Amino acid sequence: MHMSNLAIWGAPGTGKTSALIEKYLQKSGKKLIVTFSRSTADDIRKRLSDLNGEEVTKDEVNTIHGTCNCLLAEKKNVKLMKPNDYKRFENDTGNKLSKPTHDETEPSKSRGLVDCWGWMQNTGTPYKKITKFPGWKELKIPPSQARKVIKDFQQWKLDNDKINFTDMLVEVLRHQLIPDCDVLLVDEFQDLTALQFKIIKLWSENIDTVIIAGDPLQSIYGFWGGSPEYFKQFDSEQTVLDKSYRLPAAIWEYACGLANRYNMDIPKIDTTAQEGKIDHLNYKQYLAHKSFWKGNKNFKVFHLVRSNYQAARIAHEMAREGILWAGISGWTKQEIIVLNILIMAKHGIEKLVLSKSDILAMLDQFPVNYFSYGGSKKSIKAAIEEEQYRDDYGPLFVGDSLYKILESPNPVNYMSNPSDLKYEKFQAALEKYAEEVTWSEAEATVLTTIHGSKGLEADRVFLHTGISNKIKKEMRKDPAEEARVFYVGITRSKEELIVVKDKGKNFPLTRRQ
């Protein structure tokens, strides 16, 4: 055992990142923190900057991709692929290649051959098993042609000194590149892919001290090569954070019951003083309890689904109810601005006064020909940004026809390509609200996937147990993988957990685990 290495195991809400930051501050020498996600890296940099009183840079805290990119930049002159480079590749080779999603946290978002190749590298899947890619059916291309396009793409990048996100990892491992530091700290360790784990293992063999933090029970990226075994395989001493500042007793016991059912190791922790509350509803009962769907500034509510497509019907219900929400198909900041403009146009006593941000938001929601300035959206936006401060930008940019539309009984009809959902959102909200609303009101209610909620928490969680036929089939091979996903869903709740049994196939979350 490597005695100077340490693994910090923290259940949900135990403060894993805070513990890692504390270790960072305690250690001397040159230090580097590496994370799985950009948001966590940004959060740690901010927290350390606040503590130190000076800016902490990406040389000290970065994602694993960012760290690998820095190492490659020191070795050779290569540049990251840009969106127009994919078009250049198509023009040069005659191959069709959709741009990657760069999202390793949502299985349903992985699409295209670039994502397919990235999946193969991260999971260690050989070319002969290319059809195992989770999004293979959507590619609609013969395996032999897919292999040819991928190989052509690899050669094109080599000829043009270009790399993509997966190349950062592959090349660092191939050239055995090691960060110049005495202490390496790795957050979100349970999220690492097989390829990323190999890189961290390489680094740990060449760096004096390596400290990792994570929770193997929250390893839910198996579709991208993640595994709880990596945490167990890391050569180190282990410490367990024994206090959750999020989970009440009832919810932790419920989560433990699920983990026990699938023979998972569970840490012993103290919970919050709250008892916690767990209810079970079927989908019909869920629809009948819409008065409980909405959060507020002091009480956050999550609606969690297993897959993106399952959110559509909930989004329509929320829209028709006039609920403001964030997340899947939810309100954007720009839409909230436009909603407030329409509310003031409908209910305001004084003349409508429009700011810069108002005009910019409306440009994204209404056709450009309604604006008096003329030109394209891009040129109008540039003109707005260059314009000197004034109390009201409306007379300069908004035509008479748009003013009339804003004050009309049905302004949504005039928006740019309004979908049924957008129409429902705006119409119901305009009927419900007579005063301006805030973005924080929308943020209080979140509709997202369980994967999308990872690392977050809410006072009340509606956890939908509906699963697809594909997931049901995959559970026969590895039921524990799906159990970990629902463990994450359960442990988002600080106070109330409401398990919703959907129509069709469901993951078996019973009243008593």
Q: Are 295 and 444 in contact (CB under 8 A)?
A: yes
Per-residue 3-state assignment (H helix, E strand, C coil) for 363-405: HCCCCHHHECCCCCHHHHHHHHHHCCCCCCCHHHHECHHHHHH
Q: Are 328 and 308 in contact (CB under 8 A)?
A: yes
Q: Are 191 and 221 in contact (CB under 8 A)?
A: yes
Q: Mark residue 140 as left, alpha or beta (left: phi above 0; alpha: psi -120 to 50; beta: remaining).
A: left
Which run of H or of E encompasses 174? helix 165-174
The position carrying tokens 């305001």 is 348
Residue ranges of the binding site for ATP: 10-17
Give dist(CA 260, CA 253) in Å, integer: 10
Q: How many helices (H) and strands (E) does the chain have?
A: 22, 14
Give the C-alpha distances (Å, rounded to integers) separating 219 from 62, 120, 136, 256.
21, 19, 23, 15
Q: Are 153 and 177 in contact (CB under 8 A)?
A: no
The position carrying tokens 């957008």 is 422
Assigned token pair, 19 = 């513990």
Query: Can you tell me whether residue 292 is helix, strand or coil?
Result: helix
Assigned token pair, 250 = 């009832």
Give the C-alpha distances (Å, rounded to integers) separating 470 from 101, 147, 220, 467.
22, 25, 16, 8
Give dist(CA 60, CA 71) in Å, integer: 13
As a whole number of angstroms, the longest Cα–Cα distance in the chain is 75
Task: Return phi, psi of residue 235, to 5°.
Answer: -80, 100
Cβ partners under 8 Å of residue 208, min gap 6: 4, 29, 182, 183
Total residue count of the chain as it appears in this document = 513
Among 494, 492, 46, 73, residue whose Cα is nearest residue 299: 494
Residue ranges of the binding site: 10-17
Q: Specify burial of residue 141 (Cβ count, 10 A radius: 0-12, 13-18, 19+).
A: middle
Query: Can you tell me whether residue 160 is helix, strand or coil?
Result: coil
Give the C-alpha distances (Å, rounded to integers) separating 151 from 57, 155, 225.
36, 6, 22
DSSP state of 450: T
Assigned token pair, 12 = 């949900």
Q: Which contacts of 344-353 are long-range, i.e. CB under 8 A and separated by 24 or more positions?
A: 344/436, 345/406, 345/407, 345/411, 346/407, 346/430, 347/434, 347/435, 352/394, 352/403, 352/406, 352/407, 353/391, 353/392, 353/394
Assigned token pair, 362 = 């409306």
